[in-house]
Amino acid sequence: MTERLTIALSKGRILREALPLLARAGVVPVEEPGSSRRLILETRDPGVRLVVVRAADVPTYVAWGAADLGVAGKDVLDEHDGEGLYEPLDLEIARCRMMLAAPEGTPPPGRWRGGRPRVATKYPRATRRFFAARGLQVEIIKLYGSMELAPLAGLADYIVDLVDTGATLRANGLVALEPIAPISSRLVANKAAMKIKHALIKPFLRRMEAAVAAQRREREQSERQAEGARP
């Protein structure tokens, strides 16, 4: 029996940033991703294929063994129960911060007066944990997107969302109040596959580790150059 590795990842930002890393590890799609609507991408290595799924579905595919490996944001992984999954490697891509934000002028939640403030988010677990650690009582409202709209529409007092450049918050009159967690994408692995396909997964993991290290060196070098170029 010829063994294959299936790697689940989401289109958009994660696919865009994961492809150069996968290429460094020797995994290159046969077809230009995005050139077709295909959701299964064969690679030049007949032993490896990619499946393209919704970001929030990556842990599910991997946990059930439909994919051996996956690439998912820490934000997504923290909302999943994590059962059946290992998280062997931080890929250091699709980086951003999970933040507590609110309309300009809103007091921090510790100084909120009145009833329980309402917090809209796609990340109820992380949000509950954050407020529980501070001993603050809040009402959590689960949304599936466009959190920035919630305070403007009067649905919530605060939001917990991902922030990269901050442009989305600014465009909606919101300000970041507190950082909750740094976010990056992680390689996840199905626990059973780690044992059964050990001979395939172990060398792939080593190549991915080397790819992440090379990517980090290049990032640090370009950061130093940007630093040096500053007047």
Binding site for ligand PRT (CB under 6 A): 10, 12-14, 54-56, 73, 75-76, 94, 96, 161-168, 183, 185
Q: How many CA atoms lie within 13 A of 44 on its CB side?
A: 7
Q: Work out how close the CB of 195 gets to ligand PRT at its nearest, in angstroms, rounded to a whole number.
A: 28
CB-nearer residue toward ligand PRT: 49 or 186 = 186
CB-nearer residue toward ligand PRT: 157 or 161 = 161
Q: Work out how close the CB of 200 gets to ligand PRT at its nearest, in angstroms, rounded to a whole number.
A: 26
Residue 157 near residue 117, CB atoms below 8 Å: yes
Site of tokens 């090379």: 214
| Listed residue (96, 75, 87) closest to 17, CA to CA | 96
Q: How far apart are CA 60 and CA 77, in angstroms?
A: 10
CB-nearer residue toward ligand PRT: 153 or 192 = 153
CB-nearer residue toward ligand PRT: 63 or 197 = 63
CB-nearer residue toward ligand PRT: 181 or 200 = 181
Q: Work out how close the CB of 163 gets to ligand PRT at its nearest, in angstroms, rounded to a whole number.
A: 4
Give the residue closest to ligand PRT by C-beta: 73
Q: Work out how close the CB of 44 gets to ligand PRT at its nearest, in angstroms, rounded to a whole number.
A: 25
Q: Work out how close the CB of 70 gets to ligand PRT at its nearest, in angstroms, rounded to a whole number.
A: 12
Q: How far apart are CA 179 and CA 69, in angstroms?
A: 29
User: Where does the chain show beta strands of DSSP type E?
Assistant: 5-9, 40-42, 48-52, 69-73, 85-90, 96-103, 118-121, 139-142, 158-163, 174-183, 185-190
Cα angle 75, 108, 184 (rounded to 5 degrees) comes to 15
CB-nearer residue toward ligand PRT: 13 or 191 = 13
Q: Work out how close the CB of 16 gets to ligand PRT at its nearest, in angstroms, rounded to a whole number.
A: 9
Alpha helices in 174-197 (DSSP H): 191-196
